[in-house]
Amino acid sequence: MPHSTRLAATLLEAAAACPSFRPCALLEIAAFSFSEKPSLRFVVAPDEETHFRSAADSLGLKWASAPVYLEPEGHNWFSIVSRRTNNRRSLVVVTHDVSPSSLLDAETRDSDLAGSYLGYPPCCVRAFARLTASPGKWAQVLADTARDKSSIDARCNRFAAEWGGIGLLGELFPCSLECNEARGYADRLYMATRRLGLHRLADKARQDSLLPVSISESGEILTPALPGADTLSFIWNQSSH
């Protein structure tokens, strides 16, 4: 079995054993298996981290983990905080060459550095602070970056991950819904998934990214889109694969 296939299969098996694993990160595992991503990070239930630790050890990958606490700050947004809350999780990072302890530290102290370790586009990393400034309204802040809300490139659809779909961006928040760098990042995740032969997964991610969504006044992301609500519609451009 080729190394990339074995790596992906082992990490995907670990993900399948974790009920709290977010499906949007599945394509990131595919990209990581081809070194299209330098590192992975997962936030899972405390008793589930052992699956990723064992998987990383069996593959000879670097990893680190730490307990964290989450604070809800509105629809679909949780911040990692230092104080104890009722929502305890494990933050697990798996890397190729990046120091896992450095990534783990950056995740809680320096989001810009963490983004670079995770292979995110620099423009998107720099813009992340704009969303954290309005956590409960981040969806509307991002939606307002679209020139035409009726024909947004599906590769920039970060909303699919938040209603329970997969989408094409993994955990990346694009700096805008027009970002070429975010499109390229999504392409790499999508094509890596297809290279592994996971065509049904790739197709499902694409289908989810094409579903229109609406954003309620409170910031909730809804699909099917509500009639009369602020609706975002997505297209698959000819330049897309």
Q: What contacts 142, CB < 8 A, 6 or more positions away?
A: 131, 158, 159, 173, 174, 176, 177
Residue 130 lies in a domain: yes
Q: Please report the pLDDT score of residue 87 as a whole number.
A: 84
Residue 241 lies in a domain: no
Residue 226 lies in a domain: yes
In which domain, by residue range, is 193 found?
3-235
How many structural domains is the chain composed of?
1
Q: Name the pLDDT band for 226 (thresholds 50, 70, 90).
A: confident
Least confident of 60-69, 103-112, 212-221: 212-221
Q: Please report the pLDDT score of residue 1 as a whole number.
A: 60
Beta bridge partners of 231: 214
Specify the residue for token string 């509500």: 226
pLDDT, tens digit, 9 for 90 and up, residues 121-140: 999 999 998 988 887 889 99
Residue 193 lies in a domain: yes
Percent over 90 (pLDDT), the chain = 73
Q: Could you give the CA distance from residue 158 to residue 85 in angstroms, rounded to a whole number?
A: 27
Residue 45 lies in a domain: yes
The model carries a pTM of: 0.92
Q: Name the pLDDT band for 4 (thresholds 50, 70, 90).
A: very high
Q: What contacts 141, CB < 8 A, 6 or more positions away?
A: 130, 131, 134
Residue 240 lies in a domain: no
Q: What contacts 1, CB < 8 A, 6 or more positions away?
A: 9
Residue 115 lies in a domain: yes
